[in-house]
Structure 1
Amino acid sequence: MQYEGVLTKMQTEYGDPIQYYLVFEDSFLNVNQLLGKDISIDFLGYQCLNCGKKKKIFRQGFCYDCFYSSAAVGDWIMKPELSTAHLEIEDRDLEYEKRVQLQPHIVYLALSSEVKVGVTRGTQMPTRWIDQGANEAIAILEVPNRYLAGITEVALKNHYADKTNWRKMLTNDVPPADLIAERATLENLIPEEAKEYFHLDKNDLYRMQYPVLEYPTKVKSLSLDKTPSFQGKLMGIKGQYLIFEDGTVFNIRSSEGYVVRIQV
């Protein structure tokens, strides 16, 4: 079987285990069905996810020009505390920024490589946690806009990591933690503007079960720019990574906008 198209992040379905799908323009692939099988990945070119042109991908699936012009990749995406739509202040496109920033956002704790703090839109639970490869996750509070979520995250980053150690996550070298107990200690750390949204009484701990046959002891990252053709046996899927028998891991998310051929 052969599939060809532009890579975008895998779509997921929460379950036991989580189901993963690669979606192309004319077809889709349930990646779970490839576990234990040899597959090949061939790099064919680039296609910007924003303008659609066959231009080299710069970051996040966008070519250089689109990355520095599109409202979808403004600085407030990575740094929610920079959001200004609630003040009617435009970054690149105020109408777009209002649609994204002025909706419910969740500040959460996730156990991926260690306990980390993060922000996501309310509509992205538990997708965001799955994409990060979190084993467990829990909401701290839900606020009405991205700015409040951002300043809360900044306050909590003094006590928790805000990034995942991808190597530990992929080898499943994750120490246990009690996220419910962790959440119970946070009230005094939350900014005054957001304290009214802190909730402690919800039993909303998520646990994620990933389709992994065997975790590697060491991992090495596959870059299609350096290795345009790769073949290996798929042993697992976690976060947005494919895990192969030889310890090679392929980050689909960081390869968005790459045109590939996948053969099974």
Structure 2
Amino acid sequence: MHYQGVLRKMETEMARPIQYYMLFEDNFLNVNQVLNRNFQIDFLKYQCLNCGEDLPIFRQGFCKSCFFETPTAGDWIMRPELSTAHLDKEDRDLAYEKKVQLQPHIVYLANSSNIKVGVTRKSQVPTRWIDQGAHEAIEIVEVPNRYLAGITEVALKDHIGDKTNWRKMLTNNVDDEDLVTWRNKLEPYIPEEAKAYFIANNQETHMEFPVLQYPNKVKSLNLTKTPSYKGVLTGIKGQYLIFNDNTVFNVRGSEGYFVSVTIS
């Protein structure tokens, strides 16, 4: 089987285990179906997700100039507390920012390597948790815009982490936590503007990933340094492909790379 196209983050479907899909222009690959098979990936060129040019990828699948110009890479994406659409104030493109920022957002706790707090649009639950490789997660607050979610996350970060240790997540060196207890413990630290949006009675969501064998340690595949790689696919977790020689490949981290994928 042979596929060719620009890498984007894998699409996912909540199931037991989670189903993963790599989408290309003309077809798609259900990655679960090729576990335990030879998986070869060859880097052919760059293709910026915004302008489509063969220019080195800077961040998030964009070349450098597009990263600093496109509204889909504004600072408020990574730092929701910088959102200003609710004030009718433009960053790069007010119409786009209103569309994304002025919709229900969730502040959540997820446990992938350790418990962390995060923000996502309500429409992205549970996709966001899957992408982070969380085996359990719970919503804390549902607010009407991204700004309120951002200031809530900032307040809670004083009491709990906001980063995932990806190496720990991929070796499955994780502990189960009682997220309901954590949610209740963090309630007093929610900012006044968001207190009315606290979610009091929900339960944890659990995710099961398609992994046949976890690596003991991980070595990351960088297509710029290693443009051709072949290994036996032994698992998928978060946005990572896991191979039998402890190599892991971050598909989302390689967005904008035009590749050839061969399954044998």
- Structure-2-length-normalised TM-score: 0.99
Structure 1, unpaired ranges of 5+: none
* 1:41-190 mapped onto 2 (5 Å cutoff): 41-190=41-190
Question: Deviation of residue 162 (structure 1)?
Answer: 0.6
**2:212 aligned with 1:218:** no
Which consecutive segments of 4 or more residues in structure 1 shift more than 4 A?
A: none
Give the SS at the match of 1:17. coil
> For 1:206 and 1:181, how far apart are their aligned partners in 2?
14
> For 2:175 and 2:15, how far apart are their aligned partners in 1?
23
Q: What per-residue deviation string (whole Å, max 9, x for no partner) do you get for residues 38-91 of structure 1? A: 111000001011111222111100011100001100000000000011011111
Alignment RMSD: 0.6
> For 1:161 and 1:221, how far apart are their aligned partners in 2?
24
**2:211 aligned with 1:236:** no
Q: Which residue in the other structure is 1:259 paired with?
A: 258
Letter aligned with residue 73 of structure 2: V
Q: Which residue in the other structure is 1:23 paired with?
A: 23
Q: What per-residue deviation string (whole Å, max 9, x for no partner) do you get for residues 193-236 of structure 1? A: 00000011123x21000000011110010000000000000000
* 1:186-201 mapped onto 2 (5 Å cutoff): 186-201=186-201
Check the 8 A contact 2:138/2:202 in 1, yes or no: no
Question: Deviation of residue 121 (structure 1)?
Answer: 0.1
Question: Deviation of residue 258 (structure 1)?
Answer: 0.2
Letter aligned with residue 252 of structure 1: V
Letter aligned with residue 118 of structure 1: G
> For 1:249 and 1:40, how far apart are their aligned partners in 2?
13
Q: Which residue in the other structure is 1:36 paired with?
A: 36
> For 1:217 and 1:123, how far apart are their aligned partners in 2?
35
Give the SS at the match of 1:175. coil
Count of matched residue pairs: 263
- Aligned sequence identity (%): 68
> For 1:160 and 1:186, how far apart are their aligned partners in 2?
9
> For 1:131 and 1:199, how far apart are their aligned partners in 2?
23
Question: Deviation of residue 159 (structure 1)?
Answer: 1.2
Structure 2, unpaired ranges of 5+: none
> For 1:87 and 1:136, how far apart are their aligned partners in 2?
35
> For 1:22 and 1:36, how far apart are their aligned partners in 2?
17
Check the 8 A contact 2:61/2:256 in 1, yes or no: yes
> For 2:28 and 2:163, how far apart are their aligned partners in 1?
30
